[in-house]
Amino acid sequence: MTKLTINKYAAKKIVQGIAVLDARDFPGNTYSEGFAELYFDHQLLSQAYFSRQNKGIGWAVKSIDFIQLLTDAKNKRQSYAQDTATTAYRVFNQDGDGFGGMSIDIYEDYALFSWYNAFIYTLKNEILTAFQIVFPEILGAYEKVRFESKLPISSHIYGKMAPEKFIILENGVKYQVFLNDGLMTGIFLDQHEVRGTLLEHLAAGKDILNLFSYTAAFSVAAAMGGAKSTTSVDLAKRSRELSEAHFKVNGLALDAHKFHIMDVFEYAKYAARKKLSFDLIVIDPPSFARNKKMTFSVAKDYHQLIADALPILNRHGKIIASTNHARLSRADFLDELKKGFGTQKFDVIETFHLPADFATNPSDPQSDYLKVFVLEVK
């Protein structure tokens, strides 16, 4: 394996436990794509690999023995594997499991691999062989290619083909998923604890508004948790059919559950005009969005979503404010929320991070990208 002597800046981060390699710590492009051993002061600090991706130029890795890495990851998730009320969860999460650039999700009997750079993709056969040894119970697998390439972004990669759409369980609630249609699957698994809190206690008896609802997973969890009504808003036309399917598979009548295919900013105006109001508003936008009229970024514009929600929120109402923007810190997100509240006082009554199956690197706050605050207005 290539031996590479690194500078003190790169060494310091590795000693701290940060796995992602930052281009600024490798001036002069002294590395080449592939595995390397990183040395500082004649000492081996870590094994690593280089491959440019959206985040960084490579990863320091715990091991290159995939059987070992996958076995450790599987052992960590025993409680998920044994829980018959939940059949979808993450089983390998990048640097949280010792090897960045790859994640693996279980959806019932199938696995979904995500590849984040070109080098890890060259290791695919080795990784799939190891995976089938460690997870013989998985019947088939799909992949998502999450780096720039000419490859299809979604494909079947081994074993049995999954039905085009099928049902997984989470806390006993049914969700319809699809593993081979674009990058998304019908559900964002990292939000399972937030859906859990809606199901268990936050939603009962409440009128709920779900903004940026996608397939209305939060609304379904809320409805199953006894919500009086749910209203889901998303501008993607397809979201209506996918959302309705979620309600139907759980045996929920649609009378109390509405969908609006609409821009959320337009919806807020419409709701205020119609004097609609809600007990709980969920706001979970993409980090960046663009439509014909405007661009939206969580870091700069989230406050506007809060400001627009307040006039349609009942007294003592709650907001679930969520973002998965990795480069926005929790503190900066909270500042953005405060800006939205202006002079309106509020309490933070619950917070969420990534759940345990989305193992994070404890030394690197950026790897815990999910930030969710449950806020109550005073």
What's the closest the beta carbon of residue 195 comes to ligand SAH, in angstroms? 8
Decide if 109 contacts 88 (C-beta within 8 A). no
The pair of structure tokens assigned to 104 is 């693996």
Between 141 and 233, CB nearer to ligand SAH: 233
* Cα–Cα distance, 23 to 57 (Å, whole number): 6
Give the shortest CB-281-to-ligand SAH separation in angstroms: 12
Nearer to ligand SAH, 14 or 220 (CB): 220
The shares of helix, strand and coil residues in the chain, as percent rounded to the nearest 5, are 30, 30, 35
Q: Site for ligand SAH (CB under 6 A): which residue of 40, 115, 131, 188?
A: 188
Of the residues 6, 134, 141, 264, which one makes contact with ligand SAH according to CB under 6 A: 264
| 193 near ligand SAH, judged by CB under 6 A | no
**Cβ atoms of 202 and 318 closer than 8 Å:** yes
Closer CB to ligand SAH, residue 289 or residue 356? 289
Q: How far is the CB of 366 from ligand SAH (least distance, A)?
A: 20
Does 208 contact ligand SAH by CB under 6 A? no
Q: Which of 25, 143, 207, 284 binds ligand SAH (CB under 6 A)?
A: 284
Token readout for 278 is 């809600």
Assess 259 for contact with ligand SAH (CB under 6 A). Answer: no
Torsion of Cα atoms, 150 then 25 then 332 then 190, to 10° = 40
Number of residues this chain uses to bind ligand SAH (CB under 6 A): 20
Which one, 31 or 188, has the nearer CB to ligand SAH?
A: 188
CB of 265 to ligand SAH, least distance (A): 6
Amino acid at 189: L
**3-class state of residue 247 by DSSP:** helix
Residue 261 contacts ligand SAH per CB under 6 A = no
The closest alpha carbon to 228, from 246, 202, 265, belongs to: 202
Distance CA 195, CA 181 (A): 24
Q: At what angle do helices 330-341 and 298-309 cross, to 10 degrees?
A: 40
Q: Which residues bind ligand SAH (CB under 6 A)?
A: 188, 191, 212-215, 217-218, 233-236, 239, 263-264, 284-286, 289, 291
